[in-house]
Structure 1
Amino acid sequence: MGGQTITGDAPQGKTWLARFPVLPASSPLAWAIAAALTVTALLVRIAAAPVLPPGYPFLTFFPAVIVTSVLFGARLGGVQAAACGLIAWYFFIPPVRSLALSSGSGVAMAFYGFVVVTDVVLIHWMQGAIHQLAREREVSRALAETRELLFRELQHRVSNNLQVAAALLSMQRTRVADAEARAALEETARRLALIGRISRQLYNASGEALPLLPFLRQLGSDVMEAAGRDDVALSVEGDGDVRLEPDAAIPTALVVAEAIANALEHGLPSGRPGSIAVDVGYDPSARELCVTVTDDGRGLPPGFDAQTATSLGLQIARMLAASCGGQFTVAHTDATRATLRLPC
């Protein structure tokens, strides 16, 4: 486990790239900024003319075209490309201050046209792909929210239905004359109600593993509350890195709940205060989860053997542990200790 896991992405909002273009091509502000970029490119090119070798008439105009295309889209980027091309042709391609077309100026303008068209088209394609991705992420986010809502509603309804079934069994118990049958109905109702409470804690639409310690702390509180015991101290400690897959949660929870309930009923019967300690550990050599429930009550009766005991609760605990490939044992040395071992 180690962030040990017992077996049994939502979008973060629009990225900064998806915010481009920042203004539509029809915006006067976009045109003003584009014009300012053109003028800046021209002034920088004039200032750099003394140090530039011949053959670089478009050097400072390429960035103006690219920035305009990114900020305001391909349409205004195309206009910027045309304007910058004409300015560069007029001022920096011989014969200067003329739009006369010669073989040299024709080649230069063809090269310029190829470069800026490629830039504008690539930027337009990139922005379109980013916007499509943003739309798909938004759809995925909405689907994830819907799935989470439906999952929460399903968990809520399952839990409520189990609680209703438990309540019906408790009501039925009052109409049964046989004491043993009443006890069986009451025990069944208790277990159903516990499963209902567990299912609420298992709410996790992503299906991720749950931290085991908080889960067992809440479970222990539920069992103590259901038993109506406030004279018994309950502690749940251990390895906080252990996590529990949802498929293994209910069997594990029921076994631990059964161990706590047995400790309350047999080790610490009503009127006898005491303490119950739940310890969670992981044995890396055996690759086993180990949960122990220890009480300081009156201990087990002489000759008790958990493997042959006919108690329904112990039989259920052994069966649930075995269903997960594990083992449940009960022993008494200095204290009564129930141990659940599960492979992981």
Structure 2
Amino acid sequence: MPNPAEPALHRLKVWDIIHATRRLRSLGWIGDLVGVGAAAAALALRFAFDAALPAGFPYLTFFPAVVLTAFFFGLRPGIVCAVLSGLASWYFFMPPFYTFELTSQTAIALVFYVFIVAVDIALIHIMHLAAARLRADAEETARLYERQRTMFQELQHRVANNMQFVSAMLRLYAKRAGQDPAAMLTALDDARVRLDTMSRLHRHLYDPVNVTRPVGEFFQELCANLAEAAGAKDVRFSIDMPPVQFDLDQLTPLSLIAVEVITNALKHAFPDGRGSIALRLVQHGDHIVFTIADDGKGMAANPNPEQSKSLGLKIVHSLATQLGGSIVYEVGPGTTARVEFDRAA
């Protein structure tokens, strides 16, 4: 993928010298002393060349001093140098000499000097501001490009993972349909429902608003959506989770586990349509225990996800393995699914 920041960064080479003066321009009062020294050096040079210069050039060495000071050390040192240079040229090199007497010719010369140095200092200051903005824009462009590249790679990774999960799920459905051809339509409908649920979940997961939300708020909204989709108006949910956050690599399978377990409970645990489901997350250092407990009729026996023929249990077991953890079920009263895994560093 081409880097859109490269042209801007290439243009910055023109401004490298300006950027290199940034540290000098942040010296504070030391820069002011440099301004004083530059004015003194310009005065010494003016005296040194005074005999060789024709009359009428009082500012000849002072203009370069002001420009260089403003360029390398910033606005305030440039102004300090300009003021001292103007006073020195007025006192030593404008008639009547060695006095600050203001004649009409002196006034015109001083106005000319003030105008020139003010324009020079202003242009140099504007140039520094423009260079700083240009570099900041280029750095922001580079940062956004890097973020976009990372997000694109992450998207590719997640799409591949999702396709792998869908492929594995369809293989399980195909295996079940092969064992019982009469159940093929039911299997296809179950697959459609699960894929639709996954689609809605992923839209929810990748909503930028949800990226930084605490996990408890995320699951609260997820449970509400599942209850609404199932028409379970009389099932209450309780969420007990600390304000932690997970990256999407762990939040995605954890959410899919919750969807599978809660959907199964809404379908089978409450014959009269009434009940409650509690989600709880406990963190011990980096170790996470996530439980989903309902007060429904419970399963017939404690299921073993690894040995069970239930497709839902196999999917949940696969997701727990993807988390690098495990899932166990406890029956009576109700059913509790407990997922344990270590939080990603």
Provide the TM-score with structure 2 as the length reference. Answer: 0.54
Q: CA deviation at 1:234?
A: 1.6
Amino acid at match of 2:98: V
| Aligned match for 2:200, one of 197, 201, 221 | 197
In 1: Cα distance, 2:144 partner to 2:252 partner = 30
Higher RCO (CA-CA < 8 Å; seq separation 6+) = 1
Contiguous gaps of at least 5 residues in structure 2: 1-61, 102-120, 171-180
Superposed displacement of residue 319, structure 1: 1.0
* TM superposition shift of 1:281: 1.7
* Cα 1:98–1:236 shift into 2, 3 Å: closer
SS at match of 1:321: helix
Aligned to 2:279: 278
- Contact residue 327 and residue 342 of structure 1 kept, 8 A: yes
Q: Equivalents in 1 of 2:281, 2:133: separation in Å?
A: 49
Is the contact made by 2:297 and 2:333 (CA closer than 8 Å) also made in structure 1? no
Map 1:188-227 → 2, pairs under 5 A: 188-203=191-206, 211-227=214-230
Correspondence list, 1:135-214, <5 A: 135-136=137-138, 139=141, 180-203=183-206, 211-214=214-217
Given that 1:207 and 1:246 are in contact with CA atoms closer than 8 Å, whether structure 2 keeps it comes out as: no
For 1:87, the equivalent position in structure 2 comes to 87
Aligned partner of 1:283: which letter?
Answer: H
Gaps of 5+ in 1: 1-60, 100-118, 170-177
Q: Deviations over 1:45-86 (max 9, x none)?
A: xxxxxxxxxxxxxxxx9xxx79x969xx98xx69x9667524
Whole-angstrom CA distance in 1 between matches of 2:135 and 2:325: 47
Deviation at 1:202, TM superposition (A): 2.2
Compute the displacement of 1:249 (Å).
2.3
The alpha-carbon distance between structure 1 residues 135 and 322, as it changes in their structure 2 partners (threshold 3 A), is closer
Name the structure with the higher helix share.
2
Q: Using the alignment, how far apart are the partners of 1:218 and 1:206 within structure 2?
A: 13
CA RMSD in angstroms comes to 4.6
Instruction: Evaluate the alpha carbon distance shift between residue 215 and residue 69 of structure 1 in structure 2; reply closer, same or farther with a 3 A threshold.
Output: same
SS where residue 89 of structure 2 aligns? helix
The change in CA–CA distance for 1:98 and 1:278 in structure 2 (over 3 A counts) is closer
What is the DSSP-based 3-state SS (H/G/I as helix, E as strand, rest coil) of the residue aligned with 2:288? strand
**Contact (CA 8 Å) 1:69, 1:120: kept in 2 or not?**
no
Report the Cα distance in structure 1 between the residues aligned to 2:140 and 2:302, rounded to whole angstroms.
65
Distance in 2, Cα, partners of 1:138 & 1:307: 50
Deviation track 1:63-110 (CA, whole Å, cap 9, x = no partner) reads xx79x969xx98xx69x96675243233368951399xxxxxxxxxxx
